């Protein structure tokens, strides 16, 4: 896979505010302090727009960077960092009920905590699901996404152009980790906190409940360059997206199902504005989009010149808090905001799955739950690898 240059990526992502969040049935515009999300993807196709949704950045500022040598005593600074193809893969070493003796209330704590969070922030499910993908896609599900700094001083994943200010949900995990520490100190890892909360978010969004696998440990390293190489833009081609998902162990059919996470996302107008007003510099809308849909989007995205992050977000489908198959039903009607999503229908490798998911809502919900469990078990650290952090923002 040929990656674009860092300079090109930085230019491309300056306007990006990645997908997530939810739908307010009374209005298209999210309240100013609501949160934002993003999705799996691949390389840049064409520079355009901005994703939105999410929650990171709410509350207190992050702690100062750690001093050199603050990593786990006697450990190489990179020893706990799980790179693709290394460490424990495919969830080996993970079990259901891992904390039944050491922290028996763990799963209940997550469920009650998220129920409370959703009362004030209904977008939290989208934020957490996106955060889990961004953690697992970069070296494995090891909570490297949560670190604010590492001992060797390298730029961490939060600083990647694919994360940055658009990454939401880390503060939610901070809150959950604090609750774990109160109940059973230094027992539940940050990686399991992400996986448990993502599993609960998935259950609340799909209606399909399953007990989470556990036993993950936390990385002591985090590299922005790793995120740059393993996360990608929402305008990716099918080939580019397929390569990203292949490295995670998923085929084309499975990729399509997981991209159904867009069912609870939103996107800022600047992400798809050119599809509405000036597709490929034609001064016309993308001919694939139905004209009534174009008119609907123009009614929301009224000013193509609105500065990034200040234009309205638009929901991916009409059921923003439910991970259902409406996303696929809309794709079949060519009603998609993102160019990457639009490309799925016409490709022989992905089109049949789009139609299959559009025809069977329960099949989609069940398949998503199965595949999401696999995703959150990818390339984990277990046993004596890594550590169990006291706080998710820094190593011990």
User: Catalytic site residues?
Assistant: 134
> Is residue 266 helix, strand or coil?
strand
8 A C-beta contact, residue 260 and residue 364: yes
Residue 139: other Cβ atoms inside 10 A: 27
Phi, psi of 129 (to 5 degrees): -65, -40
State how far the alpha carbon of 236 is from the alpha carbons of 283, 339, 345, in Å.
Answer: 22, 8, 14
Alpha-carbon 265 to chain mean position: 10
What is the distance between the terminal CA atoms of the chain, rounded to a whole angstrom?
36
Q: Locate 243 and state its tokens.
A: 């390569």
The distance of Cα 266 from the centroid of its chain, to the nearest Å, equals: 13
Label residue 243 exposed, middle or buried (CB < 10 Å: 0-12, 13-18, 19+).
middle
User: Closest Cα to residue 237, out of 339, 152, 310?
Assistant: 339
* Bridge-based pairing state of the strands 95-96 and 50-52: unpaired
Residue showing tokens 């694939």: 288
How far is Cα 134 from Cα 53, in angstroms, rounded to an integer? Answer: 14
The string of DSSP letters for 350-368 reads THHHHHHHHH-HHHHHHHH
156 in Cβ contact with 150 (< 8 Å): yes
């Amino acid at each position: 896979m040929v990656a674009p240059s860092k300079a090109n990526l930085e230019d491309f992502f300056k306007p990006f505010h990645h997908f997530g969040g939810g739908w307010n049935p009374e209005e298209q515009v999210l309240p100013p302090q609501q949160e934002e999300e993003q999705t799996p993807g691949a390389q840049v196709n064409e520079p355009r727009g901005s994703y939105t949704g999410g929650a990171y950045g709410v509350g207190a500022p992050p702690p100062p960077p750690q001093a050199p040598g603050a990593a786990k005593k006697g450990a190489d600074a990179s020893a706990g960092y799980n790179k693709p193809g290394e460490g424990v893969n495919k969830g080996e070493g993970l079990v259901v009920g891992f904390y039944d003796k050491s922290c028996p209330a763990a799963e209940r704590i997550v469920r009650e905590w998220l129920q409370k969070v959703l009362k004030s922030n209904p977008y939290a499910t989208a934020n957490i699901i996106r955060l889990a993908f961004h953690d697992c896609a970069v070296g494995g599900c090891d909570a490297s996404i949560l670190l604010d700094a590492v001992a060797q001083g390298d730029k961490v994943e939060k600083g990647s152009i694919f994360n940055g200010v658009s990454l939401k949900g880390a503060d939610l995990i901070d809150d959950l980790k604090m609750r774990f520490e109160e109940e059973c100190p230094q027992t539940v890892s940050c990686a399991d906190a992400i996986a448990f909360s993502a599993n609960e978010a998935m259950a609340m969004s799909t209606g399909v409940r399953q007990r989470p696998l556990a036993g993950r440990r936390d990385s002591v390293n985090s590299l922005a360059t790793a995120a740059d190489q393993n996360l990608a833009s929402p305008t990716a081609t099918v080939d580019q997206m397929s390569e990203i998902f292949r490295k995670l162990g998923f085929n084309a059919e499975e990729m399509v199902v997981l991209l159904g996470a867009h069912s609870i996302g939103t996107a800022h107008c600047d992400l798809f504005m050119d599809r509405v007003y000036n597709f490929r510099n034609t001064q016309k809308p993308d001919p694939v989009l139905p004209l009534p849909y174009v008119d609907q989007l123009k009614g929301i995205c009224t000013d193509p010149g609105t500065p990034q992050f200040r234009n309205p977000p638009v929901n991916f489908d009409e059921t923003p808090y439910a991970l259902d198959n409406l996303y696929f039903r809309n794709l079949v009607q060519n009603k998609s905001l993102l160019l990457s999503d639009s490309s799925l229908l016409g490709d022989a490798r992905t089109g049949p799955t789009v139609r299959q998911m559009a025809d069977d809502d329960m099949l989609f919900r069940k398949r998503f739950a199965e595949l999401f469990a696999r995703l959150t078990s990818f390339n984990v650290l277990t046993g004596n690898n890594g550590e169990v952090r006291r706080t998710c923002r820094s190593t011990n």
